[in-house]
Amino acid sequence: MSKKVAVAMSGGVDSSLTAALLLEKNFEVFGVTMLLDSDEKNISDAKKVCEHLGINHYVADFRKIFRDKVENYFVEEYLRGRTPNPCVRCNREIKFGALFDFANDLGADFLATGHYARIIFEDGRFKLKRAVDAKKDQSYVLYNLTPEKLSKIILPLGEYSKVETRTLAEKLNLPVADKPDSQEICFVPNDDYKNFIATREPNAQALQAGEIVDSSGKILGSHNGVANYTIGQRKGLGIAAPQPLYVTKLDVANKKIVVGTNDKLFSKTLTAHDVHWIYKPSLPKTLQAKIRYGSKFSECTVAEEENFLRVEFAEPQRAITPGQSIVFYDGEEVLGGAIIGRSNFRHNVRRYFVESSVSNPNYSGE
């Protein structure tokens, strides 16, 4: 009997080609599209592709769980003066959480997606590895997967470049072969996250006007809400200075934004919580890490202290941002990751994490 594979179909070229490639390998394939908002365009495109391929198509209404687990988390993090990565959260809670279970209930042996990453069985275990196309590699956002789920997930595009994906889609006459890639946060209209947050929580303290100050507390200007800024930001500050100034700290409690020169953005250390290991190495250990999706790999030493990690980089990192994920690699393999808490951590650790667990309802110490 052929194995049954559920393909997460977004209506884009990557997931559509994923379904087509698996059909060529004689899997029994069906498509599943997640309904996350009121936009029916992607569902319609996915349905057309499934009709073209001659496979069944299902729609999973995940609007409520997506709002609860991803959208609310996104808003809450910004209101705390942090910058979240919603794709990391979505992959953990929705695509490889709710959708994984949905596919299993439909009798699927595997769940396949169009992510650019590789799953390889090696040395007696399943490993998550970087994609062949380094520019398109999406392994960073998949660090919350477990070994068990890796054994039941298929990522066919990890061996291809984006150019090859487009070419194959055209050869197979897929209806979405020339559909542009989405460059925006899928649930934020017009990519205007500031308006999205203000609509959800218009009276939040993080959206109230306040002062822009330097590290000594000198007032340099005013802002329209801490949540509208992020670490490392230069544009939109509206202040005159003899040299460029950047956001170095967001102080929600006092409604202040601290700015400084570029050199103030560099740090060699950070702490991270909400730690997840696919394969936990013996710590402390020297690994490579990325502190955001688009950053370069940097060598670091990772040590474990109670319920968080302390990370020290070989070279200073620019604009380490609380709320983003730090993902650890051993060569091409993704070992795990965590959520960045602070850089240049000089505060009482126990006090900080007790406050975090109380103020952030999404933090469970996992």
Q: What are the residue numbers of the active site? A: 90, 186
CA geometry: angle 197, 199, 203, nearest 5 deg: 85
Angle at 140 (CA atoms; ends 333, 71), nearest 5 degrees: 150
Sequence-separated contacts (24+) of 211-218 with Cβ below 8 Å: 211/255, 211/256, 211/257, 212/237, 212/239, 212/256, 212/257, 212/259, 213/256, 213/257, 213/258, 213/259, 214/245, 214/258, 214/259, 214/260, 215/248, 215/258, 215/260, 215/264
Contact 162, 173 (CB under 8 A): no
Q: What is the DSSP string of 279-328?
A: SPPPSSEEEEEESSTTSPPEEEEEEEETTEEEEEEEEEEE---TTSEEEE
Residue tagged 């990772």 (tokens): 302
Tokens of 265: 């953005």
Collect all residues with Cβ–Cβ distance below 8 Å to 188 and sequence separation of at least 6. 196
3-state SS assignment for residue 253: coil
261 in Cβ contact with 242 (< 8 Å): no
